[in-house]
Amino acid sequence: MLKYLIVFVGSGIGGGLRFWLSSLVHKYFPPFFPLGTLIINILGSFILGYMIFGLDEKELISPSVKLFIGIGFCGGFTTFSTFSLETFNLIRNSEFLFAGINILASVLVSLLGVYLAYLVTR
């Protein structure tokens, strides 16, 4: 049960920070491009990568901190970070075909999902 609470709190903080940062970016930059989301996706991917490669692989963080940051905070902040890490690991393991499929399927099928939702709601 404690693990769920750790993820819950991290997600709340990540989601709150996402909302604040996105609002801040939109305050200073015109909304013709989703710059806030792009910045958040890049930051979230960096944070998750740093945690995994810089801290977890060197056993510098506990499993609870890994849950809090990796699944909780980064999951609330951006799910794109998980996609980026998983795709990078496929590339790192020379699974280029699967990495390509993951990129195409995740991006194109997700776009299709949004489009289908758009059609359904019209």
Q: Provide the residue ranges of all domains of the chain, joining segments of one domain with +.
A: 2-121
Task: Specify the pLDDT at position 79.
Answer: 75
Q: In the numeric block, which tokens belong to residue 45? A: 């991917």
CA pair distance 31, 9, nearest whole angstrom:
30
Q: pLDDT per residue over 5-24, tens digit each?
A: 999 999 999 999 999 999 99
Q: What is the pTM of this model?
A: 0.79
Res. 101 pLDDT band, cuts 50 70 90:
very high
Structural contact between residues 68 and 7, judged by C-beta atoms closer than 8 angstroms: yes
Annotate 50-71 with DSSP letters as a single string: IIIIIIITTT-S-HHHHIIIII
Residue 61 DSSP symbol? S
